[in-house]
Structures are given as C-alpha cells and as structure tokens.
A and B are shown apart, each in its own frame.
Chain A
Amino acid sequence: MEKSKKEVLVLEDILGSNKRLAASIRQKLRENGILAVNLLSSPGSGKTSLLEKIGLCLKDRYRIGVIEGDIETERDAERIRKIGLHAWQITTHGACHLEAKMIARIFDQIPADLDFLFIENVGNLVCPASFDLGESLRFVLLSVPEGDDKPRKYPEAFITSQGFVITKCDLLPHLPFDVERVIGEAREINPKLEVFKTSALSGEGLEQLCAFLEKKLEELRKQNA
C-alpha cells in the first residue's frame, strides 16, 4: 500500500518552551519583589568583579543572591560567597549559555525574601542572547581591552539588553578605545540602552549603576503594589 503524504502547518516558536518557562520564573520573582538581572559578556570582561563591587555596595541594605553560570568549576560562586552573598553555581559541562530550565532546577533554593537576583551567564557574547532566563533586566558588558568595535559585531546581545556596562575604564588612558564611538554604535542598534562607564578597580561609575538598580527595584515593587 502506498503511503500518503500530507503537509501540516505548525507555526510554533522553537524557543517557545524556554520562553514559557522564563515567563513563569519572571512572574514568580516579580511576585516576590525580586529584581533579576542577567549579565552577558565575553569571558574575562569582568562580570564577576563587577558583581563583587555591586554586592559590596548594596549588601548592607539589600538581600542579594547570585547565580553563576560557567562551563566548569565553582570558582565564581566561591568568590561571591566570600563577600557574604548567597551564590549558586550552575556548571553547564560544555553548554555555551544558560537556559531557563537550568534556572528552574535550582529555583527552590532561592530565598523568597531576596531583593536582587543576579545571573552571571556563561562568558560568551553570542549564544546567551537567544535565551530568556526570566530576568527583568539584561545587561551587556564590554571591557575596554576588548575593543570599541564590538556592538555591530554582536548585535543581538545589544538589541536584547536594557543596560550597557563598559568595564575596566581605568585602562582608557592606555588603550585606543573610543568611548563615544562605542556608545554611539550601541545606541544605533538599541536607542533605549542605559550606558554605564565603570571600573571595578577604581570604583568609577559604580554608584550610578547601583542607584539605577535601586530605582529599577523600586519601580518593580510599585508595579506590585
């Protein structure tokens, strides 16, 4: 007997299951008044150092948790615990990005009375941009030594972020990095980006960044009220 062929129209979002799970994580976090921030950047651009500084700046007034995404090792979570914050390490054993299901697996360990939950993604400026983790804010980081030509080379990371943090700005006098060019290019791709020029070493820009985070937390809680 001849087999019959038929075509069926599906039109289903391939990342739909990740998006649905992320939406439910976002809703639970928001109900508990927790501001979740997903940090994206290449390896070595200073995500952990920035988080240490943000942690020190905010920990006396807020409860902070950090999810650390890495391919291997507990190193980053250990650094964060040293400054007295909650930290959970997700090791992906090869995967180049975090997905919502990885956050869901450890979700029960996250205390409901947190104020901020930072998620440090796997160091990679490409793949993590495609996966919603349930965050309320996404920050893309770019360090001065990486060069000022990156936004157009990695547009998705810039398009999907609300904040753009330039790190290691203490190196600006030593390197040919045009800050205005990089900000202009990033804002061409995404005109709504909030930009922060920071240095974890000198402390430059951290006050503004923390004030922005506090403002966003307040806004989230006003929406809940």
Chain B
Amino acid sequence: MHELSIVADLFTIIEEKARESGASRVTKVRVLIGELSGVVPELFRTAFHSYKKGTIADRARLEIKITRVKFRCLRCGKEIKTRDISSPDFSYACPFCGSKEVELESGRDLYLEKLELET
C-alpha cells in the first residue's frame, strides 16, 4: 500500500500548481496511471479522497485514466500495444514474429495530467 506516499507527492504538485495559477479551489484532478506502474487505481482513489481533506482540493473529483503497456520487439523492432496484462492469455511474446525478446517501452508512468481550478 504505497499509494498514500504517491498521493502525498501528487498533492505537493497540486498545491504548487494551484498557487501558481492563483486558484482558490481545485475542483477536478485527472491522473494517468500506467498499467505496470505498480499502483492500484482503487487504492489510489481511496488514498486521494482521504488525503484531500483540509487541502485546496478538498472537494475535488478524481479522474483516473489507465495507460496501457507498450513493448518493443528487440528482434523485428515493431511496437507492441497490449490489451490487458493481467488476463490469463496475455503473452509477453511478440505477436508479429513470436520472439520472446521484448522490451518495455511505456506503461510504468504516473502523471498528473490536468487540473480544473476555480479562481
């Protein structure tokens, strides 16, 4: 359960951006969570709503967009967009050439994408 630590870092950014924009309140927070970021969206949501109390975002809604994992095949060089990495028929092998030499390109990222502010 490291989501709370991550949410604490998120709030540091939210408060800084809100201050820079002269906002009186943050009403919506949208984050991008990579499927392989190690963050569980539901736990992130719980952590967000307990952390927000008493902050500038105390009434903010949270929107989460899950970003899919992308691999690159080291043999044929093609980009591999995955479906659901936790599904039982998911394979790390390249669907184009069958190679098992694939490298992760994205899907570990955690981003604060945008904020909706009241000024």
Contact = CB atoms under 8 A, between A and B. Distances in A.
B13 interface: yes
Contacts of A11: 111-114
B9 A130 contact: no
A14 B2 contact: no
Contact of B112 (A12, A18, A131): A12
Nearest to B116: A7
Interface residues of B, number: 40
Contacts of A6: 21, 116-117, 119
Interface bracket on A = 35 or more
Interface string B30-68: 010000111100000000000000000000000000000
B80 interface: no
A188 interface: yes
27 contacts: A3-B24, A5-B116, A6-B119, A7-B28, A7-B115, A8-B17, A8-B21, A8-B114, A8-B115, A10-B13, A10-B112, A10-B115, A11-B111, A12-B13, A13-B111, A14-B13, A16-B13, A17-B12, A96-B1, A96-B2, A97-B5, A130-B2, A130-B38, A131-B2, A159-B104, A188-B93, A191-B102
Given A8-B21, A9-B113, A13-B110, 18 more contacts: A3-B24, A4-B119, A5-B116, A8-B17, A8-B114, A10-B113, A11-B114, A14-B13, A15-B6, A15-B110, A96-B1, A126-B2, A129-B38, A130-B6, A159-B36, A188-B92, A191-B100, A191-B103
